[in-house]
Structure formats: C-alpha cells, structure tokens
Amino acid sequence: MILARTERCGRPKEKPFISVYVGASKATDGLDLRAFNKNGNVDIIFEAGIASPHVATDPETDESVIYEGLPATDANFEFQLDITMRQISDVLADPDNEWSELFRSFSLRLVSAERDRISADANGTRLAAHRMKLTAEVIADPIRGMPLAPASPLARFFAKCEADLIPSAPDMAKNVALMRAQISGDADELQAAMRRYGMTYSEADAMLMTPAFEGTR
C-alpha cells in the first residue's frame, strides 16, 4: 500500500510511503533435534513516512531553491502518520479482509509490539516516519515432499495469489512457482519425519522408525 501526492505548478512534492518487511527471526523454544523448518519469533516491520523538500524563492535570482534548517517534522505530518499507523492496525485485525485473515493464520500469537518515530532533515529534505515492529510466533514451514492440506495457510495463500495478484502482477507467478517447487516431491513417512526433526539415519533407527529387515536386529 503506497500513498502519493504531487503538487502542481512547480510546488514541492510530498511523497508519503508505507513499507512492510521482515526484519529478523529467532527460534529458541520448542526445537526438536535439528528442526530447520521452525521459524520461531519473526519481526514484521511496518514503516510509514513522508518526505518533502523545502523550497524558497531566492530574492536575487527569483529561482526556487532548497531551503535548509527547517524542523524535521511538524504537527500535520505526525498526525497523518498517527492515523496511518492506526489504519494499519485496523487492517491487520479486519475480519472481512481475506489477506488480513491469511496474515493472522500464519501467526500463532503476538509476542510483542513496539512503536517509535524517526525524523531527519538532510540536504533540505524533511523526513518524518513512524515504525511499528510486531514480533509474532509464526507457524513452521511445510516439510518438503509432503502434500499441502487445502485448508492450510500456505495453500490458501497460493490460491489467493493466483486469484488476486498474478492477473495484475505476472511476476508474482514466478515467485509462487518457485515456492511450490521448493516444497514439492514425494517423501515417505520416514523421509518426512527425518526432515521434520533433522534426524540422522542412526537416530531414526534408534527410535525404531526405520524399516526392520530380517536378520538386522
């Protein structure tokens, strides 16, 4: 979701923006042996900001020039960003938004929520921004070679992308295809268990998970 407003007649351009990205992930609890598919706690970051150059008329040349030294933010910018961050929270909790429902289905619980603001004034460009960092415990990645249940979050995500995004953003089809290929295959129960827990064959054998052959035990 990106907002933009352009002034006409050579006036400054105010360019509001919203960025969404994953900052980091950390899995420490609930790990089984070498369970690489666990995602643990993931930082999901929302940044909303407004960048605007200050211009003034040079009395000697009558030209518009960048004017430095003004405050990095003002009450109007801050109020707009406060409203924007509230709107983000409302969208994430919207029961009628299918994308929001998918977002929530990937998250087991919200661990923490942090909000802060930043501002800067460099080379005559004023920047005001607010940031919200949500740390969520998210579901594990699917096991390679195991079929996705149609009602699983990732299967629903693929279906939603194919229905809503790919028609207007064909490049997304490549991403979905790569994701599908990464988890495709035909793993049997032993292979799936060993991949799920990161077991060696000897560990699986010690747990009596490997096939029993006559004369080997």
Query: Which residue type sits at 74?
Result: D
For residue 128, tell me if it sits in a domain. yes
pLDDT by residue for the chain (217 residues), tens only, comes to 333 333 333 444 556 888 898 988 888 876 677 888 889 899 999 999 887 665 556 667 766 554 454 454 567 788 888 999 999 999 999 999 999 999 999 999 999 999 998 766 555 566 788 999 999 999 999 999 999 999 999 999 999 999 998 988 888 999 999 999 999 998 888 888 888 888 888 888 888 788 765 444 4
For residue 157, tell me if it sits in a domain. no
Encoded tokens for 50: 């407004």
- Domain count within the chain: 1
Q: Is 207 exposed, middle or buried (0-12, 13-18, 19+ CB in 10 A)?
A: exposed
Angle 177-182-203 (CA atoms, 0-180°, nearest 5)?
165
Q: Is 212 exposed, middle or buried (0-12, 13-18, 19+ CB in 10 A)?
A: exposed
For residue 126, tell me if it sits in a domain. yes
For residue 41, tell me if it sits in a domain. yes
pTM > 0.85: no
For residue 164, tell me if it sits in a domain. no
Query: Which residue type sits at 151?
Result: A
Domain housing 50:
1-141
For residue 50, tell me if it sits in a domain. yes
